[in-house]
Amino acid sequence: MAKVLIVEDIVETAEAIQAVLEDLGLTVFTAQHGEDGIALFEQEEPELIILDLELPDDMDGWQVLDTIQERRRSKEPVIIVTTVYGDVSNRLMGRLHGVYCYLVKPFSLEQIEQAAIDSLGLNHD
């Protein structure tokens, strides 16, 4: 069973995404802050990370992603970025970081579900 880490500061959004992914049979972990997300990444080594770029307090999503990419011990996880910013510079930054998918808020839960299915190669109807 694939593991997914959601790093999202809005609890309701994280819970909705978690419910959709658990319905796919995935094991889901959530964090509201960057440091917590990094700690969960190191502990659980998820295959997929859904990462909000706008995080409170400690670090933004790009800093979280940089740290994860530096600290990974095995295969690099698939990254799906979520953000309210759909500008070209953020999309370019995503490409430079090897981001699989870039979803601009508000996105639908169906979009998250399909991105997870596609990125993990799941066969799900």
Structure tokens at 123: 């066969």
For residue 125, the model assigns a pLDDT of 56
Helix (H, G, I), strand (E, B) or coil at 34: helix
Q: Residue 124 falls within a domain, yes or no?
A: no
- Mean pLDDT of the region 94-98: 83
Q: Residue 97 falls within a domain, yes or no?
A: yes
* Dihedral (Cα; 32, 87, 84, 26), 10-degree rounding: -60
- Indicate which CATH number applies to the domain containing 108: 3.40.50.2300
The model's pTM is: 0.93
Q: Which residue carries 């953000």 as its tokens? A: 83
Which residue range forms the structural domain that includes residue 55?
3-119
Q: Report how many domains make up the chain.
A: 1
Confidence bin at 76 (pLDDT 50/70/90): confident
- Mean pLDDT of the region 1-18: 96
Q: Residue 66 falls within a domain, yes or no?
A: yes
